Amino acid sequence: MEESETCTHHKNEGLVAFDDRCSHKGASLAGGMMMCGKVQCPWHGSQFDVKTGAVKAGPGKQGIQCYEVKEEGEKELQKQGLISKVANTFFLDHDNPDSKGNFRPGPISLARDPKLSFFSFLYKALLDGLKPSVGFDEKTENQVNKTVATVSKLVKKINNISIFKKDTPAEKAAKEKEKAQKKKEKEAEKAAEEKEKAAKKAQEVKEKEAKKALETKKEETN
C-alpha cells in the first residue's frame, strides 16, 4: 500500500482499503473507529462506508476513495503455519534454561556505526509516520531538503570568507610558525646585508690606506 492509503480488516466486511484522509478536514483515518461497516474520523466524527466510501454521518460532505482488495497466499500461509507448529512442538527447544539448568546463549551484536546519531534514528522512527497527517508529503519534503541544501552551501561559502572564518587552534599554530619563520628569514637577510656592507667598507678603507701609503712613498723618493 502507498503512504496515502490505509488498509484494515473488519470482521463483517472482510479486508478493505480506503484513503487515509478524511474529506472534511484531511485528518488521518488510520486511528479511526471501525463499526458496522463504517470508519469514523477521530477528529469530528464523520463516518464513511468502507466499501463504497460514501458519507454516512457527520460534517463531511464528500466521500472517500475506496480500493478493490484481492486476497492471495492464504493456503501458503496455512502451510507455513502448520510447518511452524510442528517444528515448535517436536523439534525446537523453548525452555531457557533447559530441564538440566543449562542456558542457551543467543547471538548478540552491539556493533553500531559511531558516526551515526542515535537520536536521528529515534527521531525518524517516531516522527516519520506523522508526516502525512500534517500535510508533509514527499514533494514538500524534497522542497524543504533542497532549500536546506542551498542555505547550507551559502553558509559554507560565508564561513570560508576570511573576515568571517575563525581559525582552528592547529591553523593558528601553523600561521604563528609561518610568521616566526618569515621573521627569522628577514633578520638573517638583514644581517647578511649588514655584513656585506661592513666588508665593502673595510675593503674601501684598506684600498685608501694602500693608496695613501703609495703616495707617501713616492714623495719620499722624490
Label residue 185 by pLDDT band (50, 70, 90). very high
pLDDT at 25: 79
Report yes or no on 26 lying in a domain: yes
DSSP string for the chain: --TTEEEEEETTTEEEEEESS-TTT---STTSEEETTEEE-TTT--EEETTT--EEESS--S---EE------HHHHHHHHHHHHHHHHHT----SS-TTS------------TTS-HHHHHHHHHHGGGTGGGT--HHHHHHHHHHHHHHHHHHHHHHHSTTT----HHHHHHHHHHHHHHHHHHHHHHHHHHHHHHHHHHHHHHHHHHHHHHHHHHHHH-
Report yes or no on 36 lying in a domain: yes
User: Is the preceding omega at residue 97 within 30 degrees of 0, hence cis?
Assistant: yes
Report yes or no on 214 lying in a domain: no
Report yes or no on 25 lying in a domain: yes
Report yes or no on 178 lying in a domain: no
Which residue carries 480488516 as its cell?
9
Q: For 148-164, write each residue's pLDDT tens digit.
A: 889 888 888 877 775 55
Label residue 40 by pLDDT band (50, 70, 90). confident
Report yes or no on 130 lying in a domain: no
Which residue carries 523453548 as its cell?
94
Residue 57 has which C-alpha cell? 454521518
Label residue 8 by pLDDT band (50, 70, 90). low
pLDDT at 76: 86
Burial of 41 (C-beta count, 10 Å sphere; 0-12/13-18/19+)? buried
Query: Containing domain of residue 30, as a range?
Result: 5-67
Report yes or no on 185 lying in a domain: no
| 11: CATH | 2.102.10.10
Pair 8, 69: CB distance under 8 Å? no
The total of structural domains in the chain comes to 1
Label residue 3 by pLDDT band (50, 70, 90). very low
Label residue 186 by pLDDT band (50, 70, 90). very high
Percent pLDDT > 70 in the chain is: 80
Report yes or no on 140 lying in a domain: no
Rounded to an integer, the average pLDDT of 53-74 is 82
